Structure 1
Amino acid sequence: MRAIYATDLSAASEAAIASETCLECLGRIGVETIHLVTVIPSNVHAGMPGMNFSKRREQALGRYQNVMADAGFETDTNVVRGMPHRRINGIAEAEKADMTIIGSRGQSPLENRVIGSTARNLARTTVVPLLVNRVERETADPDVLREHLFQQILYATDFSANAERAFDAFSYLRHATQEATLVHVESPKDSGATDGDPSDRLDALASTLATWDIDTTVEVRQGDPGEEILAVEERVTPTMILVGSRGRSRMRRLLLGSVSEDIVARASGNVYLVPPSRTA
């Protein structure tokens, strides 16, 4: 597998890259090659006061590349200028990457707003599965919040085609997964929108995971999907939320897309967001 590792050279990015446990988890699911990508926003110029981009890039990327090489990954570096999420997506397509990885402090106020906006924009537009690796907030020397990226997964589904595609990610995530919680949220507007009993459908998915020795529980909840998924995360504290980025129909694309975007922005821990197929 090939991964794009997007970094803005911040403390948040460095914490995610420097975590030996996180890198070990990536290796366990089959990642062999990592392309380190730094995007300088178009509105930022080297001549601005206090901006020594050249020296900072060389030092940081060299340090990151050494860490990943020591962990056994093949690596290269890409330094580009432009709109961060667009350039990251472009490189992901050009390299035929299997996932994009970005470190983020999550619900930050004014600080780190560039990486925060990039994570949100990638959540809307990513062309490959997006791993948002959450790090601590409000500290100058942050650490990752949950090192074992895929050990305990909360999978949220509306039984759409894209949700099924997200579930298919277990085919490789399972090599690092021990437990899973499967959740479906029904809202009043969704009454009768799915075929079959949701509990039965979740049980069928749980049976698949059982063949891979993953301990699984299922839960059907009522209410707002985003709020209910985050409530389950708070209760079970998974290491990862796994969710598709689009829902049941084109008519509801923006609404259901906003649920996954909301989860990326507000989740306490890591999020693995799976978009529709590139050929869809």
Structure 2
Amino acid sequence: MIEQLLLATDFTSRSELALDRALVLASGQADKIGALHVIDDTVSTALLRGEESAAPPILAELFDARLEPDAPRPKILIRKGDPFEEILAAADDRGDDLIIMGAPRRRRFLESLRGTTLERVLRASSRPVLSVRGPAKTHYRRVLFATDLSEASGFALQTAGCLGLLDGIHITAVHALWPPVPHMVADRRIPSDLAQKQMAAEKAEAKREMEGFLSGLTLGPLRIDSRVIEGTPHMAIRDCIPDFSPDLVVLGTRGRSGILRLMLGSVAEDLLSWLPVDVLAVPPEDTARPQNAKHHPRKP
């Protein structure tokens, strides 16, 4: 389960959705949350705080509107510098189990070159990162697990389970089968009927491999429906959204195809921009963690 988590906020409506999700995941223990806001080096911290001994007024108001008067409050963290660097540093200093951020906005010019803050955090983080887009009225109920059948991919789903995100929910696992055969048909290199038979055989083999992969994961008594879909990873995920109506997509940031790594920064609209639901991105198990981290997330 989650012992403590880091909420990165910039006071936008996107961050408010992330705050609501953080409170749900904290299960009534708001003091598990570290609420981080990063300001520019040229801005005085005192201007944001009002009084040095008090929490930033805008953050205090957000919490007061959501928590009972006598309920514990999240720890307020104010840092100066590059948001990307300070978010990672704060998570390392605290040893958080999870980083929560709002979904990315439309990219500005410089962000199109180096990525949004969220994308940069995802590339470098040694901890799971949750990008929040939807409202957080309840715990997650339907999860779409995007897998390339790699060890890193399996670790992503196991990590979601360890964080308590899979308890009592419906899980659909989807594996993308990129079809080279139809391209050969288009080039008239093989007959279409032979291509269809070959693709059917490849799909059946992928289905068997996927079922073996899922059965080998340590997940407890979870029921997982599996699907093999022809197409690229992002096409498969996109096509599953209307069919399964998930409120969370779980994926690893590296693996056979490096699903998220391939998407980030490589196309105008990546997964985080167009997916209408929350996304949990999990780095590989062997990702190095800083020596000064207070504790590490529990391993599956």
State the TM-score, normalizing by the size of structure 2.
Answer: 0.69
1:153 is matched with 143
2:262 is matched with 258
What is the alpha-carbon distance in structure 1 between the residues aligned to residue 271 and residue 29 of structure 2?
26
Q: Which runs of 4+ in 1 moved over 6 A?
A: 29-32, 206-210
Contact 2:39/2:80, CA 8 A, preserved across alignment: yes
Question: How big is each residue's C-alpha offset from its partner over 1:233-258, in whole Å with a ceiling of 9 and x where there is no partner?
Answer: 2332200000001122xxx65x7512
CA, structure 1 residues 65+219, in 2 after alignment: closer, same or farther (shift >3 Å)?
same
What is the alpha-carbon distance in structure 2 between the residues aligned to residue 183 and residue 230 of structure 1?
11
Question: How big is each residue's C-alpha offset from its partner over 1:48-101, in whole Å with a ceiling of 9 and x where there is no partner?
Answer: xxxx64459711222344467649666211101111111101111111110000
User: RMSD across aligned C-alpha pairs, in angstroms?
Assistant: 3.8
Paired residues, number: 250
1:49 is matched with none
Contact 2:143/2:247, CA 8 A, preserved across alignment: yes
SS at match of 1:124: helix
Asked if residue 273 in structure 1 is aligned to residue 281 in structure 2, the reply is yes
Question: How big is each residue's C-alpha offset from its partner over 1:22-43, in whole Å with a ceiling of 9 and x where there is no partner?
Answer: 356413599971111001144x
Contact 2:8/2:35, CA 8 A, preserved across alignment: yes
Amino acid at match of 1:212: P
1:35 is matched with 34
CA, structure 1 residues 100+210, in 2 after alignment: closer, same or farther (shift >3 Å)?
closer
Deviation at 1:154, TM superposition (A): 0.2
What is the alpha-carbon distance in structure 1 between the residues aligned to residue 225 and residue 29 of structure 2?
26
Q: 1:212 aligns with which of 216, 221, 226?
A: 221
Counterparts of 1:142-221 in structure 2, within 5 Å, are: 144=135, 147-168=137-158, 169-171=160-162, 172-175=164-167, 177-188=168-179, 197-204=205-212, 205=214, 212=221, 214=223, 216-221=224-229
- Higher relative contact order at CA 8 Å, sep ≥6: structure 1 or structure 2? 2
Deviation at 1:147, TM superposition (A): 3.8
Which structure has greater strand proportion?
A: 1
Deviation at 1:117, TM superposition (A): 1.9
CA, structure 1 residues 73+201, in 2 after alignment: closer, same or farther (shift >3 Å)?
farther
Contact 1:155/1:181, CA 8 A, preserved across alignment: yes
CA, structure 1 residues 243+147, in 2 after alignment: closer, same or farther (shift >3 Å)?
farther
Amino acid at match of 2:80: R
Contact 1:123/1:260, CA 8 A, preserved across alignment: no
SS at match of 1:173: coil
Counterparts of 1:120-159 in structure 2, within 5 Å, are: 120-135=119-134, 144=135, 147-159=137-149
Deviation at 1:203, TM superposition (A): 3.0
SS at match of 1:170: helix
SS at match of 1:174: coil
Contact 2:97/2:128, CA 8 A, preserved across alignment: yes
CA, structure 1 residues 236+219, in 2 after alignment: closer, same or farther (shift >3 Å)?
same
Asked if residue 246 in structure 1 is aligned to residue 221 in structure 2, the reply is no
1:141 is matched with none
2:96 is matched with 97
What is the alpha-carbon distance in structure 1 between the residues aligned to residue 78 and residue 154 of structure 2?
35
Q: 2:236 aligns with which of 203, 228, 231?
A: 228
Gaps of 5+ in 2: 181-197, 290-300
CA, structure 1 residues 166+213, in 2 after alignment: closer, same or farther (shift >3 Å)?
closer
Asked if residue 3 in structure 1 is aligned to residue 33 in structure 2, the reply is no
Identical pairs, percent: 21
State the TM-score, normalizing by the size of structure 1.
Answer: 0.73
